[in-house]
């Protein structure tokens, strides 16, 4: 029970952090600000049903995560993945697209939520590979 509370608090905290950073960039118009209405890296730009598809898939994944109690082993990586995805989904619903404000000129623009997702996926892959290697 204690671990679930920590996971929930970090989950909510990461969403709030990302939303506050995006609000800062929108309010003060500092640096690059793009509104990405498509998928990752601008794929399917201006696809109106994208946010609905993402919403349904995200809710299904969270339901599976909770039902299978995956949080026992993969809780922290999934907190990163889901908090980033939910924060970007909030942008899609509220603004019609995701606020991107980091541009390295060698990669498409992105935001803090995207960093959460990438770190979570890499962490999940490492944990998965380690458990596979040990058990085989």
Q: What is the pLDDT of residue 39?
A: 62
Report the catalytic residues: 100, 114
pLDDT at 14: 97
pLDDT at 87: 93
Query: How far, in whole angstroms, is CA 10 from its chain's centroid?
Result: 13
pLDDT at 120: 93
Residue pointed to by tokens 């029970």: 1
Question: CB-side exposure of 17: number of CA atoms within 13 Å?
Answer: 15
Q: Note the pLDDT of residue 51.
A: 62
In whole angstroms, how far apart are CA 68 and each of 7, 16, 63, 64, 71? Answer: 16, 27, 8, 6, 8
Whole-angstrom Cα distance, residue 89 to residue 96? 9
pLDDT given for residue 42 in this prediction: 55
pLDDT per residue rounded down to tens, the chain (136 residues): 688 889 889 999 999 999 999 999 888 877 677 777 766 655 555 555 666 776 777 778 777 776 766 666 788 998 999 899 889 888 888 888 889 988 888 888 889 999 999 999 999 889 888 877 655 5
| Bridge partners, 36 (sequence order) | 98
The predicted pLDDT at position 21 comes to 94
């Amino acid at each position: 029970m204690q671990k679930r509370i920590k996971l929930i608090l970090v989950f909510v905290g990461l969403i709030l952090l990302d939303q506050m950073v995006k609000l800062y960039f929108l309010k003060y118009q500092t640096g690059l600000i793009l509104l990405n209405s498509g998928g990752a890296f601008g794929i399917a730009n201006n696809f109106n049903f994208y946010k609905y598809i993402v919403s349904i898939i995200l809710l299904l994944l969270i339901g599976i995560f909770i039902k299978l109690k995956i949080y026992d082993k993969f809780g922290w990586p999934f907190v990163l993945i889901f908090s980033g995805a939910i924060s970007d989904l909030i942008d899609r619903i509220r603004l019609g697209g995701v606020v991107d404000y980091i541009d390295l000129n060698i990669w498409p623009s992105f935001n803090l939520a995207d960093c959460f997702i990438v770190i979570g996926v890499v962490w999940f892959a490492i944990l998965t590979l380690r458990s596979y290697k040990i058990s085989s």
